[in-house]
């Protein structure tokens, strides 16, 4: 981290310097999770100090991508915009070129987690996507990172008041992954009053890459945030998604699915932080575990004292399909006032034998039955998306699971 500290000093002229400095201090002051509450420390997705240092000191270079033939509106290579289509009411620019345009609110949101602090201190690329108010748009973003690069990105999304937006963002790697790179990104979404965002996030990076992603959303009054997140690739993965529901009557829905196979380890966290009155949060995550991989789902439904008449639900289900696999869930409920409804549930098991029997009794063999049930398990989450391309991609992942 000494190296990063030196690196940070060279950014004195960066308008975000203060923010970076605060973030780095926060990072230094936050102890590494000690997991004292659990005897199985080894089973957490563990990013070593070396991984984090790689990420912090890594500087993404330019990534050459061929824009032609890709079915997307915006193509991003190593955090830099390679090509973009003109979309009405949509402005997208590289973050380092937009620093002066960003409202001060962006620099007030410093995050909560250790790895997130470090990303906020170290990013060198990313995008600023600004959608004006009263628009109805659909944006397709394909983003690639060089498989061997370490580095971090900061992305900012603004959704103007009363706009209805559908984003599909796919994250891939280009080329081979060499030298255990760690790639981080923090995407902060600011949602105006009455706006609606459906964010379809899909990550399928090379298994040689460690990926750390934070999606943090701030919801104003009567906004609706719906996130579909699919985590399929990366050898080590930390995905954290949390919405701060400051606005009254804000609505937050999460539909997540993770696939782990081989020696992958995946840590998916989805939380609500409800402050406004009459807010609702509904989190549903599914996981499929194969090979000697591990998956952990966690997250809190956190309803604070002023958030009366609110509801929060968390539901995690993991299918543990292999002998060497490992599944873990740690849902939390933090309820600080009594005028609320909340519930969480989690279940871990193999494919239900009764379900297999039912399909078998209709003449379908065991293998096909298992495939159908597993596919259905994921389908029940993604079918709520309004994005066909997204749904199709995820269906392919379900089909890929070998039994």
Q: Which of residues 360-379 bind another protein (CB under 8 A)?
A: 360-366, 368-369, 372-373, 375-379
Binding mask 273-312 for another protein (x = CB under 8 A): --------------------------------x--x----
* Interatomic CA distance for residues 313 and 300, integer angstroms: 9
* Interatomic CA distance for residues 292 and 300, integer angstroms: 27
Binding mask 108-127 for another protein (x = CB under 8 A): --------------------
Residue selected from 14, 22, 46, 204 as contacting another protein according to rule CB under 8 A: 22
Nearer residue to another protein within complex by CB, 103 or 332: 332
C-beta separation of 163 from 193 below 8 A? no
β-pair partners for 143? 76, 171
Provide the Cα torsion 92, 117, 114, 60; round to 10°. Answer: 60
Alpha helices in 30-87 (DSSP H): 49-57
Residue selected from 263, 336, 384, 399 as contacting another protein according to rule CB under 8 A: 336
Please report how close the Cβ of residue 157 comes to another protein at its closest, in angstroms.
29
Which span sits near another protein by CB under 8 A: 37-45, 71-79, 205-213, 240-248?
Answer: 37-45
Q: Is 14 in the site for another protein (CB under 8 A)?
A: no
Q: Is 106 in the site for another protein (CB under 8 A)?
A: no
Count of CB atoms within 10 A of residue 398's CB?
19
Residue selected from 73, 318, 387, 397 as contacting another protein according to rule CB under 8 A: 318
Please report how close the Cβ of residue 4 comes to another protein at its closest, in angstroms.
8
* Interatomic CA distance for residues 232 and 319, integer angstroms: 15
Q: Is 348 in the site for another protein (CB under 8 A)?
A: yes
Residue selected from 10, 13, 34, 71 as contacting another protein according to rule CB under 8 A: 34
Query: Binding-site residue total for another protein (CB under 8 A)?
Result: 80
Q: Is 402 in the site for another protein (CB under 8 A)?
A: no
Count of CB atoms within 10 A of residue 167's CB?
23
C-beta separation of 224 from 197 below 8 A? yes
**Extended strands (E) in 220-309:** 224-231, 236-245, 251-260, 265-274, 280-289, 294-303
| SS3 state of residue 70 | coil
Residue selected from 110, 277, 330, 389 as contacting another protein according to rule CB under 8 A: 330
Residue selected from 87, 359, 391, 401 as contacting another protein according to rule CB under 8 A: 359
Q: Is 400 in the site for another protein (CB under 8 A)?
A: no
In the block, residue with structure tokens 């308008």? 15
In the region spanning residues 248 to 277, those forming contacts with another protein, defined by CB under 8 A, are none
Which span sits near another protein by CB under 8 A: 98-106, 229-237, 267-275, 342-350?
Answer: 342-350
* Interatomic CA distance for residues 19 and 16, integer angstroms: 5
C-beta separation of 310 from 299 below 8 A? no
Residue selected from 41, 59, 105, 357 as contacting another protein according to rule CB under 8 A: 357
Binding mask 44-83 for another protein (x = CB under 8 A): -----x----------------------------------
Count of CB atoms within 10 A of residue 267's CB?
23
Q: Which tokens belong to 52?
A: 């984090």
Which span sits near another protein by CB under 8 A: 77-85, 244-252, 261-269, 346-354?
Answer: 346-354
Percent helix, strand and coil across the chain, each to the nearest 5: 20, 40, 35
Nearer residue to another protein within complex by CB, 205 or 286: 286
Q: Which tokens belong to 167?
A: 């984003």
Q: Is 326 in the site for another protein (CB under 8 A)?
A: yes
Nearer residue to another protein within complex by CB, 102 or 308: 308
Q: Is 40 in the site for another protein (CB under 8 A)?
A: yes
C-beta separation of 109 from 219 below 8 A? no
* Interatomic CA distance for residues 215 and 157, integer angstroms: 10
């Amino acid at each position: 981290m000494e190296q990063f500290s030196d690196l940070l000093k060279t950014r004195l002229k960066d308008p975000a310097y203060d923010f970076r400095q605060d973030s780095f201090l926060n990072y230094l002051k936050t102890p590494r999770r000690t997991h004292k509450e659990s005897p199985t420390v080894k089973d957490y997705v563990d990013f070593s100090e070396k991984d984090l240092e790689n990420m912090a000191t890594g500087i993404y270079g330019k990534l050459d991508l061929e824009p032609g033939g890709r079915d997307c509106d915006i193509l991003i290579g190593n955090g830099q915009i390679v090509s973009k289509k003109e979309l009405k009411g949509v402005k997208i620019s590289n973050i380092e070129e937009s620093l002066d345009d960003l409202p001060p609110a962006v620099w007030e949101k410093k995050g909560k987690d250790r790895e997130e602090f470090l990303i906020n201190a170290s990013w060198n690329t990313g995008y600023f996507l600004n959608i004006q108010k009263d628009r109805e748009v659909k944006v397709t973003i394909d983003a690639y990172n060089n498989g061997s690069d370490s580095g971090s990105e900061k992305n900012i999304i603004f959704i103007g008041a009363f706009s209805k937006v559908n984003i599909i963002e796919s994250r891939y790697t280009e080329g081979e992954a060499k030298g255990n790179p760690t790639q981080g990104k923090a995407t902060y979404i600011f949602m105006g009053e009455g706006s609606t965002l459906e964010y379809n996030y899909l990550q399928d990076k090379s298994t040689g890459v460690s990926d750390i992603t934070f999606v943090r959303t701030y919801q104003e009054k009567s906004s609706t945030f719906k996130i579909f997140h699919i985590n399929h690739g990366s050898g080590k993965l930390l995905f954290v998604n949390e919405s701060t529901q400051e606005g009254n009557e804000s609505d937050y829905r999460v539909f997540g699915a993770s696939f782990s196979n081989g020696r992958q380890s995946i840590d998916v966290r989805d939380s609500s932080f409800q402050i406004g009155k009459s807010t609702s949060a509904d989190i549903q995550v599914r996981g499929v575990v194969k090979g000697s991989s591990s998956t952990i789902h966690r997250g809190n439904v956190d309803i604070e004292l002023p958030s009366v008449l609110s509801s929060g639900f968390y539901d995690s289900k993991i299918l543990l399909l292999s002998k060497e696999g490992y599944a873990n869930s740690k849902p939390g409920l933090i309820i600080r006032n009594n005028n609320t409804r909340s519930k969480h549930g989690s279940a871990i098991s193999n494919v239900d034998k009764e379900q297999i029997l039912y399909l078998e009794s209709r003449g379908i063999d065991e293998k096909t039955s298992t495939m159908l049930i597993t596919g259905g398990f994921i389908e029940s989450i993604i079918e709520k998306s309004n994005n066909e391309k997204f749904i199709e991609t995820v269906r392919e992942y379900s089909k890929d699971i070998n039994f």
